[in-house]
Amino acid sequence: MESRKQDNYFHQLGKLRRKPLAIAGPCSAESREQVLDTARQLKELQVDIFRAGVWKPRSKPGTFEGVGLEGMAWLQEVRHEFGLPVATEVAKPQHIEFALKHHIDVLWIGARTSVNPFAVQELAEVLRGTNVPIMVKNPVNPDLALWAGAIERLWAVGLTDVAAIHRGFSSYEPSQYRNLPLWQLPVQLKAQYPNLPIIVDPSHIGGKPELIYPLSQKALDLDFDGVMIETHPNPKAALSDADQQITPAVLGEILTKLQVRSMPDQAFVSRAEELRKKIDRADREIIEALARRMRVVEEIGKDKKENNVAVLQLERWNEIFQTRPQWAAQMNLTPEFIQELYQLIHVESIRIQTEVVKKDA
């Protein structure tokens, strides 16, 4: 299913005001004073949409879960006093009903909701016939089909002003990020739906202020449409996600530094085409080398079968896993990349040898 409109609400805001689209505001609406103070400063920065959560899905009970309906009145004040469109998260049909009643301009579906097709479908049914602009965060787990499916459910009920938010993916592995960026997934989403606006949420990906600018610039370099950055007048005192919020002043510095890459000229296009041909040739050589390797793997599998040897040989695998990254470093390649690549190669090698051992068994 293709995106319905090239110039939807989010594209129009970017064209009418500036590129990239800038969405900012506190993680949570905590008080009327906090909301209005933040909005006043963000208006001066020419932020396009003011965001604030009034219902907060928290991992554990007993923590701050938002002010609820009271916050809707504060968002209405932001609209009337500063002329800023306002956005908030919705997770239940009742949330949408309250938001529409209070004339909230933009809604978003969070990562804990987009992971559940039943929940997304319920929200879509309530939104049927409204055409309210809505953004969909990626699900917490790295599942492109779930993310795309949530977006398609909204299109299926007639909504056209839809955008995606890349906020990163949960992982048990230690990382410098709060949520892994896994840029290949939003890039695949963009390739699948070229007209779908994609907005990066560097606050949730990075989890700390110093990562917000480089993550934002990375997204713009990948031709994302905008940024969604959590901004609080006093981040240390924030009632939720204090570690990842920044002040409006810091936001202003980041927005000033961000660069949008220009459209390529003909000279660049010609040069890029030559380089892409070289890449194509190199890729062909890589695939041919992999095919040769897997033929050798198949021969080893036959020898193991004839000699009744187990397919998995940990000593050999440890040797490969240690030496290949070392070779990569000598050739100015990232060892971590080669480690991931050889994990995939190892899985395929085991599969091939297992098939050989099973054959005629």
Q: Could you state, in order of their start, the residue ranges of all structural domains in the chain?
A: 9-257, 266-358
Instruction: For residues 194-198, give the mean pLDDT.
Output: 93
| Least confident span in 7-16, 214-223, 286-295 | 7-16
For the entire predicted model, the pTM comes to 0.78
**Strand 49-51 to 21-25 pairing:** parallel
Q: Which residue in this structure is represented by tokens 């009418």?
A: 16
145: left (phi over 0), alpha (psi -120 to 50) or beta: alpha
91 touches 55 (CB < 8 A): yes
Backbone region of residue 228 per phi and psi (left: phi > 0; alpha: psi in -120 to 50; beta: other values): beta
When mean pLDDT is compared across 60-69, 92-101, 224-233, 299-308, the lowest value belongs to 60-69
C-alpha 75/C-alpha 54 separation (Å) is: 9
Terminal Cα distance for the chain, rounded: 45
Where on the phi/psi map is residue 237: left (φ > 0), alpha (ψ -120 to 50), or beta?
A: alpha
Model confidence at 114: pLDDT above 50: yes
Of 28-32, 45-49, 60-64, 332-336, where does mean pLDDT reach its minimum? Answer: 60-64
Pairing of strands 49-51, 162-166: unpaired
Cβ atoms of 142 and 169 within 8 Å: the answer is yes
Strands (E), the chain: 21-25, 49-51, 86-90, 106-109, 134-137, 162-166, 198-200, 226-230
What pLDDT is attached to residue 59? 66
Of 218, 247, 233, nearest to 20 (Cα)?
A: 218
Spatial distance between the Cα atoms of 11 and 196, rounded to a whole number of angstroms? 9
Query: How large is the average pLDDT for residues 293-313?
Result: 90
Beta strands in 249-306, from DSSP E residues, in sequence order: none
User: Does residue 235 have a pLDDT over 70?
Assistant: yes
For residues 142 and 15, the model is more confident at 142
The percentage of the chain sitting over the pLDDT mark of 70, rounded to a whole number, equals 94
CA angle 243–248–18, rounded 5-degree value: 120
Query: Residue 186: its pLDDT value, please?
Result: 96
Is the distance from CB of 233 to CB of 33 less than 8 angstroms?
A: no
* Nearest residue to 223 via CA among 50, 13, 14, 23: 14
Task: Say yes or no to pLDDT of 58 above 90.
Answer: no
Per-residue pLDDT tens for 19-40? 789 999 999 999 999 999 999 9
Q: What's domain 9-257's superfamily in CATH?
A: Aldolase class I (3.20.20.70)
Q: What is the CATH number of domain 266-358?
A: 1.20.59.10
Per-residue pLDDT band at 321 (split at 50, 70, 90): confident
Tell me the mean pLDDT in the region 40-61: 88
Give the residues across from 165 on adjacent strands: 137, 199
Residues 128 and 132: their CA atoms lie apart, in Å, by 9
Return the structure tokens found at 273.
């085409």
Residue 110 dihedral angles phi and psi, to the nearest 5°: -80, 170
pLDDT band at 174 (very low <50, low <70, confident <90, very high): confident
